[in-house]
Amino acid sequence: LHKLRSLFTDIYYMRKYLFLALMIALCNNLFGLFGFLNVFKELDYTLSSGFTGSTISGKTVKKVEQQQFKYKADNGIMYGASAAYTFKSGLEVEGGVRYLERGYELHSRHHRYYHHRNHYYYLHRHRRDRFFDEFKSNYVDSFIKVKPDFGDGLEMHDLNVKLKPFLGVAYSYLLEADDLNINEWDTSLLIGCDVVFAKRFVLGLEYNKGMTNILYDGRAKNECFSTSLGILF
């Protein structure tokens, strides 16, 4: 029984790597076996990776900042896979999954402890004249985006450049977090633009605004900006 419990514990802490392996296997399956079927030949597949900058906002943030603390953005990475279908009208619908690192940093010039809901929290790090701490929260997103058609694009230096603004939603599951007070589920509104060039590469710019409260004992929502580079298949 003890060995079985240890096995499940190891699986729990390796969720991020298991998800990466599952996504690689899924992509290999899509591009290999299903690629021969006509229905999948009509889809445009994209593999992408990039960087994120994120923080949180809300009533809890304002209360903590009143104690001379400051929330700042934290950097992370993202990678994922998606498939898009273009209707005869030109409207494109894209859906996919991705791994996304969110988080925030908390800084103070004068205090190492902050108070919230009858609890005191401690900033562990010190740099120059300030105390700070970094709180990572890593998610797996399933998302869908809608992109209207704006023509064939522009020819720039023999590169066909096409802008694809989009609006979408994402449903996120928390894989791991430094802050144990964070809810496991989140829903986000996506707005941004994809720049397709050379009909093969995609530069993505996206703002991700959390729509649900992520704290068990407070009020805060995720905010994330990401840039990514993808390859079309």
pLDDT in tens, 18-50: 666 666 666 555 555 444 444 556 788 999 999
Kindly state the tokens that stand for 156. Answer: 């720039």
- Reference 56, options 190, 192, 168, 186; nearest CA is 186
Is 0.85 topped by the overall pTM?
Answer: no
pLDDT in tens, 164-221: 999 999 999 998 887 667 888 899 999 999 999 888 899 999 999 999 998 877 788 9
**Angle CA 86–77–126, to nearest 5:** 155
Q: CA–CA distance from 75 to each of 55, 133, 226 (Å)?
A: 9, 13, 10
Contact (Cβ atoms closer than 8 angstroms) between residue 123 and residue 195: no
